[in-house]
Structure 1
Amino acid sequence: MTSNDKETPSPTAIVRPDLKELAKHLGVSQTTVSRVLNGSAKQYRISEETQKRVLAAAAKLNYKANVLARSLRSKRSKTVGVMVPEISEGYSTAVLGGIEDVLLLSGFFYFVVSHRHHADLLREYPSLLLSRAVEGIIAVDSVLEEDLPVPVVAVSDHHHRPSVVNIELDHMLAAHYALEHLKRLHHSEIAFIKGQTFSSDTLARWRAICKVAAELDIEVNPRLVTQLDDHGLGTEPGRAATVRLLERGEHFTAIFAFNDLAAIGAITVLRESGIKVPEQVSVVGFDDILSAGTNNPPLTTVRQPLQEMGRVAATTLLQMIQSERQEWPKHPIRVLPAFVERQSTAAARGRGAVQGKNFNSQGN
Structure 2
Amino acid sequence: MTKKANPGHAHAEKLTRPVAGKSIALKELSAYLSLSQSTVSRVINGGAKAHRIAEATQQRVLEAAASFGYEANVIARSLRQKRTFTVGVLVPEISEGYSTAVLSGIEDALLKEGLFYFVASHRHHEELLAEYPRLMISRAVDGIIAVDTKMSEEVRVPVVAVSGHWHNQNSISVELDHIQAAHLALEHLQKLGHQRIAFIKGQSFSSDTSRRWKAIREVAKKLGIEIHPELTIQLVSPDAGPEPGHQATQELLARRIPFSAIFSFNDASAVGAITALREAGLQVPRDVSVVGFDDVLFAASSHPALTTVRQPLRQMGQIAATTLLGLIQGDGKLAPGSVITVHPEFVIRKSTTRSPH
What TM-score bracket applies, with the shorter chain setting the length? 0.7 to 0.9
Q: Matched residues in 2 for 1:223 and 1:254: separation?
A: 14
Task: Answer yes or no: is 1:18 the counterpart of 2:25.
Answer: no
Query: Which residue does 1:64 correspond to in 2?
Result: 69
Which residue type is aligned with residue 109 of structure 1?
F
Distance 1:325 1:343 in 2: 46
Normalised to the residue count of structure 2, the TM-score between the two structures is: 0.83
Of residues 124-133 and 227-236 in structure 1, the stretch that sits farther from structure 2 once superposed is 227-236
2:189 maps to 182
How far apart are the structure 2 equivalents of 1:90 and 1:135? 27
Equivalent residue in structure 1 for 2:87, among 58, 74, 80: 80
| CA distance in structure 1 between the aligned counterparts of 2:356 and 2:188, rounded to whole angstroms | 15
Structure 2 counterpart of 1:301: 308
Whole-Å separation in 2 of the counterparts to 1:305 and 1:317: 18
Matching of residues 118-267 of structure 1 within 5 Å:
118-267=125-274
Q: Residue 60 and residue 343 in structure 1: after superposition, are their counterparts in 2 closer, same or farther (change >3 A)?
A: closer
The AA in structure 1 aligned to 2:155 is L
Q: Secondary structure at the match of 1:167?
A: strand
Unaligned runs of 5+ in 1: 1-14, 22-29, 44-54, 351-364
Task: Name the CA shift for 1:61/1:311 in 2 (closer, same or farther; >3 Å).
Answer: closer
**Percentage of identical aligned residues:** 56
Instruction: Give the structure with higher Rg (CA).
Output: 1
Corresponding residue of 2:11: none
1:36 alignment partner in structure 2: 27
Among 337, 348, 352, the alignment partner of 1:345 is 352
Taking structure 1 as reference, are residues 61 and 255 closer, same or farther at Cα in structure 2, changes over 3 Å only? closer
1:280 pairs, out of 284, 287, 298, with 287
Deviation of the 1:34 alpha carbon? 2.0
* Counterparts of 2:126 and 2:146, CA distance in 1: 14
CA RMSD of aligned residues (A): 2.3
Instruction: Please report how far the alpha carbon of residue 123 of structure 1 lies from its aligned counterpart in structure 2 after TM superposition.
Output: 0.2
Query: Offset at 1:38?
Result: 7.3
Question: 2:170–2:337: 8 Å Cα contact kept in structure 1?
Answer: no
* Residues 108, 348 of structure 1: alpha-carbon distance in 2 compared, 3 angstrom cutoff: same
Structure 2 residue runs without a partner (length 5+): 1-15, 38-59
Q: CA deviation at 1:17?
A: 2.9
1:321-332 counterparts in 2 under 5 A?
321-323=328-330, 328=335, 330-332=337-339
Q: Which residue of 1 aligns with 2:326?
A: 319
SS in 1 for 2:212: helix
How far did 1:42 drift? Answer: 7.6
SS in 2 for 1:297: coil
| Equivalent residues of 2:173, 2:337 under 8 A apart | no
Retained in 2: the 8 A contact 1:38–1:106?
A: no
